[in-house]
Structure formats: C-alpha cells, structure tokens
Homo-oligomer: A and B are copies of this chain.
Amino acid sequence: MVKRNANIAKLKGSYLFPEIERRKRAYLDNKKDSKLLSLGIGDTTLPIPSFITKEMAAFSEGLGTFEGYHGYGPPFGGEALRAALSVHHYQNIIPADDIFISDGAKPDIFRLQALFGQDSLISVQDPAYPAFVDTSVLQGRTLGFNEDKPGYEGITYLPCKPENDFFPDLDKAKGTDLLILVSPNNPTGKAFNRKELQTIVDFALKEKILIIYDAAYSSYIRSKDTPKSIYEIEGAREAAIEMNSFSKMIGFTGVRCGFTVVPKELHFEDGSSIKKDWERIISTCFNGASNIASMGALRALSPDGLRAIKKMTDYYLENAHLLKKEMISLGFEVYGGENAPFIWMRRGKKEDSWDLFNEFLTKAELIVTPGSGFGPAGNGFIRCSAFIERESLHQALSRLKRLYALT
C-alpha cells in the first residue's frame, strides 16, 4: 500500500491562507451579519485596464476561428512576450531566451525545487513568502518543525527585523547552497537598495551561493536608489535566478501569468548549465501559461500598458501610505508601504501574531495576516495588504480609529 510523502507530515499546520479562511468562516458562522473587510490576503481588487481585457477578449474570440486558433504554445513561452519582457521590463539587460513564461510565481517556485540536489542547503530571508520554505519541506530538504526554536530544522533562517533594518546577516548563510530573498519583501515591505543588493551579489559570488530572487512586487518600487531587478547589479547574472509575475503588477492574480529568468551564465557545481536543466524541467512538468493570459501580459508591456501599471500600483501605494499614517497615529510600530503594497506592524514586542489577528477580526471585523505565518522572525507582527478599494480602506480606518483611539 502506497506510503505518504513523509515530508508532508513535517509541514506545520495548514498553509497560512487556508488557516485564515478557516478562522474567518468560524467567525462568520457565529456572526452572520458581519461586514468583514479584508486587509489580509494579497489579492488585487482593481479591474484590469480595459484595453488589456479587450485584447484578451479579442484573442479568445479568435480561438473560435480557423485563422485565430492556437493550440500548444512554444514550451518556454511565446517569442513576442519573451522579447517584450527583455526590452520593456529588463531594458535589454536580460536576453529574451533567458526568460521563461509561467502561470505564476508559486508554481514556478515548486518547479524550481526539482533543479537542485536533494542535499542542497537553504538559507532564507525571514520573514518571507511561505511557498519557498513549504516547497522545500515538501521536497525533503528539511527535518521537522522545531517548536522550541521555531522553524524547520535544516533551514538557515536569516532574521530581518527593525533591529537590523531588515537586512540579513549574510554571514549566517555561509556554507549554504541557495539564498532565498524576496524584495520588495512580502510581508515586511523592505526593498533592498543598490548598495545592499551589491553586497548581496558580491557575497553570493564569493561564497558560490545561488540566489533565488523573488521580485514579484518590483513594480511598486519608487525609491530611485532601489533596483527593480537584481540584474541591474554587476555580476548578478552569474549569481541569481529571478522570479516575477503579472499578478500584482496589473491585477492578473486570477488570470495567471508570470516569468522566471534563468541566465545562461549560471552553472552547477559540476559545471553543467542550470538553464539547460530548467528547460528540461519545464518541458517535462509544465505545458505553458494560458495563451489568453499571455496575450494580456504582452499588451501590458506596451507603452499604455506600462503607464497603466504605474497608475494601478500608485493607487495601491496611496492606500499603503494612508494606512501607514493612520496606524502610526494609533500608536503602532509600522514599516513598509513605501516600495511595496504591504504594511508590517506590531504594537508591543511581546504580542503574538495570531492574538493580534483575532483582535482585529473580533473587535474591528478586519482580516489581516499574522506575521508568524511568514517565518519565525515574523512573530509579533501583522501584515496589512493595500489591495483594497479606497472606500473600503476608509471604512477600515474608521473602525480602527474607533477601536484604538478609545482604548
């Protein structure tokens, strides 16, 4: 009789967002009339610009004609989309053939696990988007979860806290094989500036560690000294794989399209090409993003598409600014929200994330995300997402003012 993948049993609790959903439903079961507002899951709320949705609609309709029908696309993504990313997203610092179209960052994070030797050691920015650690656990790269010193045994956590300006102590990563970084960071909102990124790339090159760089929020970067891609840094093509997605860029969370860069300069310990193996994994385990989604993504890289990306991300950033300002005035310790659509905050240093989550849920009927779900260094914090309509945000702020200005 077939055995369970023993690594699944190691995964602590359920995945973060289903657990939030469970608590939300439990609350609603008791209070059916509640008007919950969500600052929780990072799901976009603004419609996609209509010139993009019209393009997808026209392509969809075309699929109903002999002239417009398309079956399987090229295995690594359409030439036009890869070329547009090279020119308009990467300003020609990355060639089209190093860019691979995906159905989003999360599925590619899982596929990435198949690239590396079973005994590869992982260091990870803490906190970070949980899919990196969870897929590493699934793949058997860790031992169990240690409750006493929270975290999976076998993973090197690099705590990023206010105390170190959210910059990891890279020395701790020495001796590991993979360095996983999320910048702008989900959940803290920290985006590495040029100097910090150069330090990271130099460290990785010297220590021969491969960087996995999740740049899914790069379109929210506004600081001039903060690169939107790690490849703006000298040497990065010899040091990093970068992932990105149209989800938070232009509201494609449900449409599904992303991209991963695997530069041909990258090599494994035995000298063989990482890109060649990635091509084999993609050919074997994936059949491409939806061609309709790809067509929308291509349109998003046109001049008016790029303007629309700026406008949409500006809107969410303005939400983040309003939220940040309010929470500071209510006495919270608040970070992020400048180059990212997330606010990262805590009240006291000894509070538990889930307690704060419950307080927001039961006293203000607001959903937020407990920071502990993103890694041990996230405990005590909550993440508020700026993906909300302005009117709902103002309602949420009123509830928070009512709750905390009085207490």
A residues with a Cβ closer than 8 A to B are 1-6, 8, 11, 14-15, 17-18, 41, 43-50, 52-54, 56-58, 60-66, 68-73, 75, 103-104, 106-107, 109-111, 114-120, 131, 134-135, 138-140, 177-178, 208-210, 251, 253-256, 268-270, 272, 277, 280-281, 283-293, 296, 387, 389
Contact = CB atoms under 8 A, between A and B. Distances in A.
Contacts of A281: 8, 138
Contacts of A73: 254
B2 A107 contact: no
Nearest to A245: B287
Contacts of A54: 60-61, 64
Given A2-B116, A5-B277, A138-B114, A60 B292 contact: yes
Nearest to A256: B290
Given A71-B44, A290-B255, A283 B18 contact: yes
Contacts of A60: 53-54, 56-57, 60, 292, 296
Contacts of A138: 114, 281, 284-285
Given A1-B268, A135-B284, A253 B290 contact: no
16 contacts: A3-B270, A5-B116, A8-B280, A41-B72, A50-B61, A53-B61, A57-B61, A69-B251, A70-B254, A71-B254, A103-B107, A103-B290, A114-B138, A114-B139, A255-B291, A290-B293
A116 B3 contact: yes
A268 to B, nearest CB: 4
B269 A1 contact: yes
A284 B48 contact: no
A157 B77 CA distance: 33
A115 to B, nearest CB: 6
A20 B362 CA distance: 60
A110 B285 CA distance: 5
A281 to B, nearest CB: 7
A208 B18 CA distance: 32
B134 A3 contact: no
A283 B15 contact: yes
A44 B70 CA distance: 8
Contacts of A18: 75, 283
B71 A47 contact: no
Nearest to A272: B4
Contacts of A389: 66
A118 B141 CA distance: 13
B3 A287 contact: no
A2 B47 CA distance: 42
A391 to B, nearest CB: 11
A106 B287 contact: yes
A49 to B, nearest CB: 7
Given A15-B283, A46-B69, A72-B43, A4 B53 contact: no
A45 B63 contact: no
Contacts of A253: 71-72, 287
Contacts of A116: 2-5
